[in-house]
């Protein structure tokens, strides 16, 4: 059966083994910068896989996933700061809050199609950014800082990114299993029918709104957990970093598009290609030309343009197409 | 409420609406003829503002004349973008079209930030402090200028689209691309001109907005969203509808600012946006797409 996990091949096994060994290995030889890079690639990868349940499988291009990401981040921070809830639980609740938000937002959002959906998600991100910046309970525009605590395991405070990488790997494993089951189930096929032609889907008796809502809620759930990982790693949340159109919403989308939106693992691969490139550009080019602002985002734009003109199916999609041709 | 305050708020909104209308008309024209949603539209507007600023500060040219001149380079840039990018994605899946025009947005917005810095610039000219006294209220001259210009541009676009051969060819292409091609119209040329005029008009808007609005690389984002609202209000693709839409949003915004905290004014604008595309996705004057 297509839904079984037994189809793990040599590539997958190598990938899993590498991901398991690499953070520990890099950490032990003192390359903390690269461990952090892996953590970021995992965090964005989790969000990009979730985003792609809407984009690649349902045909809804969201440029507002920062909303779910940010709400997840704030959930972990607020629970830990105000209610002393451990982020171990907070991470799950981050997903739940974001997922519920997805449910609440779905009646208005999912009535929209194509570019109107995309535009509305951009506007939604702006609404959340401006509202959180003016909301005192969540720290307003200065955000919330998580204090350093003695109870390190309880508050998930570790030096470096290594342990966080393994936590992210755990989340990723759960996400991959859940998403794989969904996209190979009846729901997944319904979603792809909606993507191809919503009218046909309705004619076939598919309750398109119901299945789009399911996709949005699950997508929001895992994006929220990715946001929660941001909080435990960086211990600081603020509305301008978290509800950002570029560094959150667009990064997630670009990771997905680079990897290939019509493939299952594409967004994860895309994240592992794009995040290191972006981090490299940020760390080296921006450091070399500190007075040239915005250069890394310009590079991001060029990458996105080249991909959409010459390989709109993404890297994994391109490889798949080439293999099928032979 | 004091009727005079309300009247002056409506008047102020109407004048600002002229600025929104200038940006929105080009967007509507591009959508109407090419069926492309130009996500980078606000950033062409920002380029117009920046160009005007530099012409004014380094060449000492009158800012209004500079704003009008800015049409030319942005038109040329529009033609280049149309040939290099838009033309290649006309038949691509919608997701690719969104991604590509969004990529242009990123390149322009952050390319400008990289080239000229993330600073906010202010164009302080002789026009800045002049107010016109209307008896019950005073209105700043720059806003009157932008409103009058928007009316002139609207008239020029009408003449272009209805009285010239080029305009007839543009309208024919927008009705049916293939038939237009069969009639001997060079469709690709029409698209060049349409995209060029669309972003060029936005650039004029940007240049004139700079008379009273700070210039910074990300300024286009707000105006683009406003322009999208105007286009939706006006029914997709209708230049005249988009013009009316721009005026309506200007008025709605400045009247609502009387009742809510000004800092949250933008939140209201975006909420209105989402509401409109929900309630009346074909627009107030829409032909039902």
Dihedrals phi, psi of A59, to nearest 5 degrees:
80, 25
Place of tokens 């105006």: B223
Rounded mean pLDDT, A223-234: 96
For A298, the closest of B99, B106, B278 (CB atoms) is B106
Dihedrals phi, psi of A304, to nearest 5 degrees:
-60, -40
Give the model's pLDDT for residue B156: 95
Task: Indicate the SS3 state at residue A236.
Answer: strand
For A116, the closest of B96, B270, B277 (CB atoms) is B277
Rounded mean pLDDT, A239-251: 91
At residue A242, does pLDDT exceed 90?
yes
Residue A313 corresponds to which tokens in the numbers above? 């199916």
Q: Which residues of A touch B224 (CB under 8 A)?
A: none
Rounded mean pLDDT, B37-42: 92
Higher-pLDDT residue of B65, B136 = B65
Show Cβ contacts of residue B131 under 8 Å, excluding neighbours closer than 6 positions.
B138, B139, B140, B141
Which residue in A234, A237, A229, A239 sits closest to A78, CA to CA? A237
At residue B1, does pLDDT exceed 80?
no
Buried b (16+ CB within 10 A) or exposed e, A151-181: eeeebbbeeebbbbbbbbbebbeebbebbbe
Give Cα separations from B120 to A295, B49, B108, B179 (angstroms): 18, 12, 16, 48
pLDDT band at A230 (very low <50, low <70, confident <90, very high): very high
Give the model's pLDDT for residue A111: 82
Q: How many CB atoms lie within 10 A of CB A185?
A: 13
Integer-rounded Cα radius of gyration of chain B:
19
Nearest residue on chain B to A58, judged by CA atoms?
B95
Quick: pLDDT tens for A148-164: 888 888 888 888 888 99
At residue B74, does pLDDT exceed 90?
yes
Residue A320 lies in a domain: no
Q: How far apart are CA A41 and CA A275, in angstroms?
A: 6
For B228, the closest of A119, A134, A308 (CB atoms) is A119
Nearest residue on chain A to B217, judged by CA atoms?
A294
Give the model's pLDDT for residue A67: 97
Rounded mean pLDDT, B63-78: 95
The verdict on a CB contact (< 8 Å) between B111 and A294 is yes
Q: What is the CATH number of the domain that holds B190?
A: 1.10.3470
**Which one of A59, A295, A308, A311 would you mutate to disrupt binding with B, by most B Cβ within 10 Å of its Cβ?**
A308
User: How many structural domains comprise chain A?
Assistant: 1
Residue B102 corresponds to which tokens in the numbers above? 């969004």
Which residue in B14, B23, B25 sits closest to B234, CA to CA? B25
Rounded mean pLDDT, B234-247: 86
Give the model's pLDDT for residue B242: 92
Residue A86 lies in a domain: yes
Of A30-39, A108-117, A280-289, the range with the lowest mean pLDDT is A280-289
Q: Which residues pair with B133 in a beta bridge?
A: B138
* Partner A contacted by B225 (CB < 8 A): yes
Task: Tell me the residues of chain B between 116 and 145 that have a Cβ less than 8 Å away from chain A.
Answer: 117-118
Give the model's pLDDT for residue B284: 58
Give the model's pLDDT for residue A29: 84
For B100, the closest of A59, A119, A309 (CB atoms) is A309
Rounded mean pLDDT, A100-124: 88
For A123, the closest of B99, B104, B225 (CB atoms) is B225
Of A265-274, A286-295, B276-285, the range with the lowest mean pLDDT is B276-285
* Partner A contacted by B80 (CB < 8 A): no
Higher-pLDDT residue of A311, B209 = B209
User: How many structural domains comprise chain B?
Assistant: 1
Residue B286 lies in a domain: no
Integer-rounded Cα radius of gyration of chain A:
19
Q: Which residues of B touch A60 (CB under 8 A)?
A: none
Residue B148 lies in a domain: yes
Residue B216 lies in a domain: yes
Look over chain B and give the mean of its residue pLDDT values, rounded to a whole number: 88
pLDDT band at B289 (very low <50, low <70, confident <90, very high): very low
Give residue B205's domain range: 3-279
Give the model's pLDDT for residue B68: 94
Quick: pLDDT tens for A37-73: 999 999 999 999 999 999 999 999 999 999 999 999 9
Which stretches does DSSP call E strand in chain B?
131-133, 138-140
Look over chain A and give the mean of its residue pLDDT values, rounded to a whole number: 89
Of A312-321, B34-43, B185-194, the range with the lowest mean pLDDT is A312-321
Q: Which residues of A touch B118 (CB under 8 A)?
A: 293-294
For A61, the closest of B89, B95, B267 (CB atoms) is B95
Q: Which residues of A touch B102 (CB under 8 A)?
A: 63, 250, 304
Give the model's pLDDT for residue B282: 61
Give the model's pLDDT for residue B279: 73
The verdict on a CB contact (< 8 Å) between B274 and A123 is yes
Strands A236-237 and A144-145: antiparallel
**Which one of A106, A293, A299, A300 would you mutate to disrupt binding with B, by most B Cβ within 10 Å of its Cβ?**
A293
Residue A286 lies in a domain: no
Rounded mean pLDDT, A23-29: 84
Number of A/B CB contacts below 8 angstroms equals: 123
Helix (H) or strand (E) holding B102: helix B94-116
The verdict on a CB contact (< 8 Å) between B228 and A294 is no
User: B114, A295 in Cβ contact below 8 A?
Assistant: yes
Give residue A239's domain range: 5-245
Quick: pLDDT tens for B83-96: 999 999 988 888 88
Rounded mean pLDDT, B246-259: 85
Of A214-223, A283-292, B166-175, the range with the lowest mean pLDDT is A283-292
Q: What percent of chain A stands above pLDDT 70?
A: 96
Give the model's pLDDT for residue A103: 96
Q: How many CB atoms lie within 10 A of CB B107?
A: 23
Give the model's pLDDT for residue B72: 96
Distance from CA of A43 to the nearest CA of B (A): 22
**Which one of A294, A297, A307 would you mutate to disrupt binding with B, by most B Cβ within 10 Å of its Cβ?**
A294
Rounded mean pLDDT, B140-157: 93
Q: Which residues of B touch A120 (CB under 8 A)?
A: 273-274, 277
B137 alpha carbon, distance to own chain's centre:
28
| ipTM score above 0.95 | no
The verdict on a CB contact (< 8 Å) between A309 and B95 is no
At residue B287, does pLDDT exceed 70?
no
The verdict on a CB contact (< 8 Å) between B106 and A295 is no
Give Cα separations from A15 to A9, A20, A114, A172 (angstroms): 10, 9, 35, 13
Residue B129 corresponds to which tokens in the numbers above? 């402090």
The verdict on a CB contact (< 8 Å) between B225 and A122 is yes
At residue A191, does pLDDT exceed 90?
yes
Distance from CA of B222 to the nearest CA of A (A): 10
Give the model's pLDDT for residue B288: 40
Residue B142 lies in a domain: yes
Buried b (16+ CB within 10 A) or exposed e, B211-224: bbbebbbbbbbebb
Residue B289 lies in a domain: no
């Amino acid at each position: 059966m297509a839904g079984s996990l037994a189809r793990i091949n040599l590539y997958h096994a190598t990938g899993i083994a590498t991901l398991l060994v690499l953070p520990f290995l890099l950490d032990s030889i003192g390359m903390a910068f690269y461990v952090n890079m892996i953590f970021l690639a995992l965090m964005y990868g989790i969000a990009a896989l979730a985003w792609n349940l809407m984009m690649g499988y349902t045909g809804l291009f969201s440029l507002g996933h920062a909303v779910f990401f940010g709400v997840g981040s704030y959930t972990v921070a607020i629970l830990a700061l105000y209610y002393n809830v451990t982020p171990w639980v907070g991470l799950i609740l981050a997903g739940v809050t974001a997922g519920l938000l997805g449910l609440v937002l779905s009646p208005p959002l999912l009535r929209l199609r194509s570019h109107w959906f995309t535009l509305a998600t951009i506007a939604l991100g702006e609404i959340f950014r401006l509202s959180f910046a003016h909301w005192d309970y969540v720290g307003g525009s200065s955000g919330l800082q998580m204090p350093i605590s003695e109870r390190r395991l309880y508050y998930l405070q570790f030096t470096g990114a290594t342990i966080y990488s393994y936590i992210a790997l755990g989340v990723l494993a759960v996400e991959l299993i859940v998403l794989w089951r969904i996209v190979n189930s009846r729901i997944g096929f319904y979603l792809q029918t909606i993507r191809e032609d919503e009218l046909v889907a309705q004619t076939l008796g598919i309750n398109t709104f119901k299945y789009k809502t399911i996709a949005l809620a699950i997508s929001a759930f895992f994006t929220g957990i990715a946001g929660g990982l941001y909080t435990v790693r960086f211990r600081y949340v603020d509305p301008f970093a978290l509800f950002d159109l570029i560094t959150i919403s667009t990064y997630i989308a670009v990771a997905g598009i680079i990897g290939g939106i019509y493939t299952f693992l594409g967004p994860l691969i895309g994240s592992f290609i794009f995040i290191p490139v972006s981090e490299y550009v940020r760390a080296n080019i921006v450091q070399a030309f500190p007075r040239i602002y915005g250069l890394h985002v310009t590079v991001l734009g060029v990458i996105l343009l080249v991909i959409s003109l010459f390989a709109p199916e993404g890297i994994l999609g391109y490889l798949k197409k080439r293999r099928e041709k032979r | 409420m004091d009727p005079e305050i309300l009247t002056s708020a409506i008047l102020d909104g109407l004048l600002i609406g002229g600025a929104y209308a200038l940006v929105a008309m080009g967007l509507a024209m591009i959508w109407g003829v090419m069926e492309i949603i130009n996500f980078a539209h606000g950033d062409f507007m920002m380029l117009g503002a920046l160009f005007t600023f530099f012409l004014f500060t380094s060449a000492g040219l009158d800012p209004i004349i500079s704003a009008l001149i800015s049409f030319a380079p942005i038109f040329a840039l529009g033609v280049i973008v149309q040939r290099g990018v838009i033309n290649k994605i006309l038949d691509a899946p919608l997701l690719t079209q969104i991604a590509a025009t969004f990529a242009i947005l990123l390149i322009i917005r952050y390319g400008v930030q990289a080239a000229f810095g993330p600073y906010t610039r202010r164009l302080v000219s002789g026009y800045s402090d002049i107010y016109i006294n209307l008896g019950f209220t005073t209105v700043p001259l720059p806003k009157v200028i932008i409103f009058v210009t928007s009316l002139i541009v609207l008239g020029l676009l009408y003449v272009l689209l209805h009285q010239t051969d080029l305009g007839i060819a543009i309208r024919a292409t927008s009705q049916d691309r293939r038939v237009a091609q069969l009639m001997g119209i060079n469709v690709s040329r029409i698209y060049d001109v349409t995209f060029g005029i669309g972003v060029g008009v936005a650039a004029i808007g940007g240049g004139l907005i700079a008379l009273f609005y700070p210039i910074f690389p990300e300024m286009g984002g707000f105006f683009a969203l406003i322009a999208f609202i105007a286009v939706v209000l006006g029914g997709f693709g209708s230049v005249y509808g988009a013009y009316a839409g721009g005026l309506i949003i200007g008025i709605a915004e400045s009247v609502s600012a009387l009742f809510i905290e000004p800092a949250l004014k933008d939140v209201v604008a975006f909420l209105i946006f989402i509401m409109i595309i929900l309630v009346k996705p074909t627009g107030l004057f829409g032909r039902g797409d």
